[in-house]
Chain A
């Protein structure tokens, strides 16, 4: 039996730290910082003070940036090697919060680590990307045609989705499915298989409906007809639309958002911060932020296309789609295009784990760029030595 020919003909793996630092896309980091600054400004405006949100968020952001750089400098093969381990840890954490929640007789989504309240569902978003990237990295174009090879990755997606639904966290569940689907798609899974899974999914809707909590059912029903309950669950959407609409083109001015300041806007520092931003800075501010995110998406795609190893490509697309899902679901929810599912706006919304996860994701993206020329065999690290 012949070993596959060596793939590492052109080695760039052994870069020094200095070389790696030089490889980091500092221009991309500039845009990330720009969005972060946008975020502090909005958190400052939300409280008219650095306390209680802006200051803490700023410190976390700096901490996250350090993590980002550190993540980027680690050899990409380490992530390949430990992808399943990371996934396994994230999975165990999810099981842990579910069980703890069960014992504590209430929904719990985080683990208190004193410094930070760790949300395993956020960790899982990155862990799933890593695990799927590793799995598909190993499949050749032929083997991927075999439906049996898809059973494992489908399980990888739906096992955490089930756990997250039990929390219950509809937003994260939707994001995991979407990110998973995107990775299946770019990995080359045929379209008709998506159709089959989707149809099976639709078939499972009545079953899943019974699985949902009443408040979640209400949210979906309210989304379908928000005017039916203007003071109950529809209140959030209505007030959010009033905030955005009254902002108009140019906005009411920084720190002048009456909807937000007078507490009409719920969760103005977290999930609905975009409504406050749109009220104060208008459509111009909203589009500007959207453009900044788009720049990051473009960077993500560029990095994916430039990577010479499949793991890196898949990882870059996964991270990018993950970021996109955050942005799109959050904004669409705030604008009343999607039900209120509780997805934060990355780098803007107040919240520790989400910010660290997103910055960790950017770290992976840069890591892919730094190691873009590294060729990795289908079997992973083992082949190189």
Chain B
């Protein structure tokens, strides 16, 4: 009994202690409640509100791209698409079955949608079909009550009105890649599904101003991001992107692109020689940019990439060619600067020797005695071999650089190549060898190491024509006819006018005097005459044995080994306004192949006269004020 009592006593005492311990622990719980719910309540209230509100981006409208007269080149279309939200649909398969009455849905499409529905959260809408026609849109709208969970959303799609006509200039938009995301400054828009950015051309160059700024709507969401309250708490409208006005005359551009299409692979650049505005820039073959806007297939991409004619490349800014005889003006100007008399006569027997090396004139038997003017007219190689030797490579290079060769012109487009103008320092740095005198004659006729892009050649022609350091550009501050601040005229080149006159006269004779290399390509219309220079760039090396046995005719060679045909010109001769370069890859002779193209393009340019329309407007404006 004592034992029982003792046990009971111990129990009572210890149970009481246990109870005391419980009271302490319960007090701790209440203390914690006080801390969380009274002391720190404000902080948690804010966190709770932040939990619920989510900012959803609103996509801005991308800026349009217009030509100089306001004709739209790139616009935005409404893109109507059908979406299904799996959690609002009873039987997804059945709904797809119903939808297939109004839309073409293949079995693969359906399988892909069902797979998507499994992978994603059930409240995330899945795109069933995009780019609906009005008919499809209407039939789905009418049957909407029978299609639970099906909704029609409107997005934007880039539409290129000109198709292949200016795909290289405008470029295209596409969904940003990982690389784009890593490279550019952070923009939340980039994470918006389906958002597209400029990937090439001016779409890329001016992407930032075309893109606009995102808007925002604040909505209530649950833990997984499902919108639970559609009522918008706050809304900031997106700022649409700015329209981009180009210097292009789209009518001229169409003409250029179509004219070039007669050749397999060619490019041409029309500049305003006084301002540097790019009036047209063609490169063939071209691609259809809308195919990127809707999403290019793997097959299409592979075809584009494996095409030997490189349709994706803009050859006008990205192709580097030996300028051939079109380079001779640079040699002449360098010689004039060195004080060489333009009336100095050089006898051309058809060959020219430096040390043991013999250089040939393009004309077997030679031109006889020629001065600087006629050396242009006949494109006499021996005259320029000799003049280059007299002038020296470094002086020629310095002059060429003043005309925009050997370095990027600075045009506002991505992917421009820089070409190459060699000099003795470059030779030493690149090959660790001095410049050998035997290398100068080749440079004198634009061969050897020298390369240039068609754009650079057009800039060269423009600078020769105007005497101004024009820089080519695509962007215009305002439409032609709209009130605009007069752009500052490009600065004059530091070259005496009489030197220019020699070269311009030489170029005039090329097309306008009987016997000039491009006399056949002359513009006969009074007041529209052009001055020009032909060029033929050798692609393969002609061996000595071949020289002896007779050079094979271009037509007998495989296409890839044929010469490039080049042509630069400006017009009108009396008051130069337009400059043009034409390069036909593996076309053959400059005068025979590139000449007719240049003639047609220049004549069309002068007839359309996009610059003077502008000039007239400008004058009217200045007179008014």
Contacts and interface: CB of A to CB of B under 8 A. Distances in A.
B222 interface: yes
Interface of B: 1, 3-4, 6-8, 10-12, 14-15, 18-19, 22, 25-26, 28-30, 32-34, 36-38, 40-41, 43-45, 47-49, 51-52, 220-224, 228
Interface in A311-333: 313-314, 317, 321, 324, 328, 331-332
Given A247-B37, A262-B52, A337-B32, A140 B7 contact: yes
Contact of A187 (B11, B36, B41): B11
Contacts of B19: 297, 301
A262 B223 contact: yes
B4 A246 contact: no
A182 to B, nearest CB: 6
A259 B51 contact: yes
A243 B49 CA distance: 11
A142 interface: yes
Contacts of B30: 287, 290
Contacts of A371: none
Contacts of A101: none
A225 to B, nearest CB: 18
A324 B18 CA distance: 11
Nearest to B52: A258
A210 to B, nearest CB: 30
A264 B37 contact: no
A135 to B, nearest CB: 13
Interface stretch (A16-24, A49-57, A216-224, A278-286): A278-286
Contacts of A242: 44, 47-48, 51
> Interface residues of A: mostly helix, strand, loop or mixed?
helix
Which 8 A-B pairs give the minimum distances between C-beta atoms? A245-B44, A246-B48, A262-B222, A263-B223, A283-B37, A188-B10, A248-B41, A141-B6
A245 B7 contact: no
A244 interface: yes
B36 A186 contact: no
B48 A243 contact: yes
Contacts of B222: 261-264
A301 B19 CA distance: 8
A246 B41 contact: yes
B224 A283 contact: no
Given A246-B47, A290-B29, A188 B14 contact: yes
Interface residues of A, number: 47
Contacts of A117: none
Residue with the highest number of chain A CB atoms closer than 10 Å, among B12, B14, B25, B48: B48
Interface in A11-46: none
Given A283-B37, A310-B8, A304 B15 contact: yes
Contacts of B228: 262
Nearest to B229: A262
A185 interface: yes
Given A188-B10, A337-B28, A262 B51 contact: yes
A335 B29 contact: yes
Contacts of B223: 239, 262-264
Contacts of B4: 310
Contact of B11 (A5, A246, A261, A310): A310
A241 interface: yes
A184 to B, nearest CB: 10
26 contacts: A141-B6, A186-B11, A186-B14, A186-B18, A188-B14, A241-B36, A242-B44, A242-B51, A244-B33, A245-B36, A245-B41, A246-B45, A248-B38, A259-B48, A259-B51, A262-B52, A263-B222, A264-B223, A310-B4, A310-B8, A313-B11, A317-B18, A328-B29, A332-B28, A335-B29, A335-B33
Nearest to A191: B14
B3 to A, nearest CB: 5
Given A182-B18, A264-B223, A258 B48 contact: yes
Nearest to A259: B48
Interface string A270-312: 0000000010001100110010001001000100110000100
A153 B40 CA distance: 45
A249 interface: yes
Contacts of B47: 242, 245-246
A185 B18 CA distance: 9
Interface string A63-103: 00000000000000000000000000000000000000000
A337 B29 CA distance: 9
Contact of A141 (B7, B26, B32): B7
A297 B21 CA distance: 12
Contacts of A297: 19, 22
